[in-house]
Amino acid sequence: MIYNPMMETMPREQMRALQLERLQHTVRHCYENVPLYRSRMDERGLTPDDIRTLEDIRLLPFTVKNDLRDNYPYRLIAVPMRDIVRLHASSGTTGKSIVAGYTRSDLEMWAECVARLAVAAGARDTDIVQISFGYSLFTGAFGLHYGLEKIGATIVPISGGNTERQINIMRDFGVTALVATPSYAMYLAETAEKMGMMEDIHLRLGLFGAEGSTLEMRQELARRWGITVTENYGLTEIIGPGVAGECEAFCGQHFNEDFFLPEIINPETGEVLPEGETGELVITTLSKRGQPMLRYRTRDITSLSYAPCACGRTTVRMAQVKGRSDDMLIIRGVNVFPSQIESVLLDTRGIGPHYEIEVDRVHYLDRLTVKVELIDAGLLERFSELEALQKALHDRLRTVLNIDVQVRLVSPNTLKRFEGKARRVTDLRGK
């Protein structure tokens, strides 16, 4: 089922024409109402009339996270404050928050985006959906809430935390779909198993997002819950969730292209890369009024495909996010993405899906340590088996990452669990 067939199956040429019209409108809106955009365009001798084709977007300068921080809280808002009806923010791990302001029409557009991805993922008006993202300044809960309400699903707005209660509510309310981060969905599964309640819960669908997860993590979630696992992608700066989402054909996440125009660039040079190549995702909003974004550098590493999808949608698809260019670790000169480590761990029998990565420096040399939880505590007593497992993990990580990794196996239930986005990497270098 396709929520908005006209937009989601539009022929490419027609889509490009619509995008150009909206891009021209957005650039003019930015130029006339946001001093930062006007001054950057003036510096390059550009006016809105210079955007004559979609490719002319490349004339525009990039916008980066620091632009939002430097213009905190309202200086990128392009309409009078009385037209802003909602604010959200993301805290990030460092520095000032990123603020996002929405007009009423932005909120309607947002709900439309999420409705499309929810239907693409298989959600229906008969579903009872538990939203386990925190209802707060974070965009996740409100974003999914209004989109799912729009398709007529029954919403259970439980918010994050209080994990045992979440399980009781899932059982009592007959919840059929879960909205959460993959890491919280894993913690919920573990809790349901411990409470002996898996049999009493009838989930069929997971709508997961807000953080990266590997294929192995999603397979583990599908196995433990007995559900179809889908993921969706978005970011506060652009709108929140609703930028892209997976369909039932599972070949990438469909972009809401009539609202968000994606490009892939080489993060080092800023050069736009051809279809299929992997690089940093850059997004321009095409209809947002409150806080439009021109060529926003997401830092997320992915690729795009315009090939037709088995589901019938014609919208461009983005591949699973490989990582963020800013969470890539450089260990003794070698690039390491935490997702590579996760794939190896989840593919290894005997260890659970909980791990922590620590980087420090010993005698001027980087050292990478991975702490992993065992599934069976009894293994700690069986020294030779333990040693064999540790060696197998060590060797596999070395083959995949090309560097030496210290592996520490720890008892079950000793590492931190996460109710929102997981924070598994600690970098102690320079501290």
Binding site for ligand DLL (CB under 6 A): 90, 139-140, 209-212, 231-236, 240-241, 298, 300, 321, 324
Shortest Cβ 302–ligand DLL spacing (Å): 9
Nearer to ligand DLL, 90 or 291 (CB): 90
Shortest Cβ 98–ligand DLL spacing (Å): 7
Nearer to ligand DLL, 168 or 340 (CB): 340
**Quick one: which of 51, 54, 60, 71 has its CA closest to 15?**
54
Shortest Cβ 166–ligand DLL spacing (Å): 17
Shortest Cβ 339–ligand DLL spacing (Å): 9
Nearer to ligand DLL, 232 or 409 (CB): 232
Nearer to ligand DLL, 252 or 352 (CB): 252
Shortest Cβ 354–ligand DLL spacing (Å): 19
Shortest Cβ 278–ligand DLL spacing (Å): 14
* Helix (H), strand (E), coil (C) string for the chain: CCCCHHHHCCCHHHHHHHHHHHHHHHHHHHHHHCHHHHHHHHHCCCCHHHCCCHHHHHHCCCECHHHHHHCCCCCCCCCCHHHEEEEEEECCCCCCCEEEEEEHHHHHHHHHHHHHHHHHHCCCCCCEEEECCCCCCCHHHHHHHHHHHHCCCEEECCCCCCHHHHHHHHHHCCCCEEEECHHHHHHHHHHHHHCCCHHHCCCCEEEEECCCCCHHHHHHHHHHHCCEEEEEEEECCCCEEEEEEECCCCCCEEECCCCEEEEEECCCCCCECCCCCCEEEEEEECCCCCCCCCCEEEEEEECEECCCCCCCCCCCEECCCCEECCCCEEECCEEECHHHHHHHHHCCCCEEEEEEEEEEEECCEEEEEEEEEECCHHHHHCHHHHHHHHHHHHHHHHHHHCCCEEEEEECCCCCCCCCCCCCCEEECCCC
Nearer to ligand DLL, 299 or 367 (CB): 299
Nearer to ligand DLL, 20 or 253 (CB): 253
Nearer to ligand DLL, 19 or 90 (CB): 90
Shortest Cβ 358–ligand DLL spacing (Å): 21
Shortest Cβ 183–ligand DLL spacing (Å): 12
Shortest Cβ 27–ligand DLL spacing (Å): 23
Q: Using CB atoms, what's the residue nearest to ligand DLL?
A: 209
Nearer to ligand DLL, 280 or 366 (CB): 280
Nearer to ligand DLL, 56 or 211 (CB): 211
Both structure tokens of 201: 């819960």
Shortest Cβ 324–ligand DLL spacing (Å): 5
Contact between residue 234 and residue 256 where contact means Cβ atoms under 8 Å apart: no
Nearer to ligand DLL, 357 or 409 (CB): 357
Looking at the DSSP assignment, which residues form a beta bridge with residue 398? none
Torsion-angle region of residue 180: left (phi > 0), alpha (psi -120 to 50) or beta? beta
Both structure tokens of 398: 């070395």
- Rounded Cα distance, 57 and 26, in Å: 11
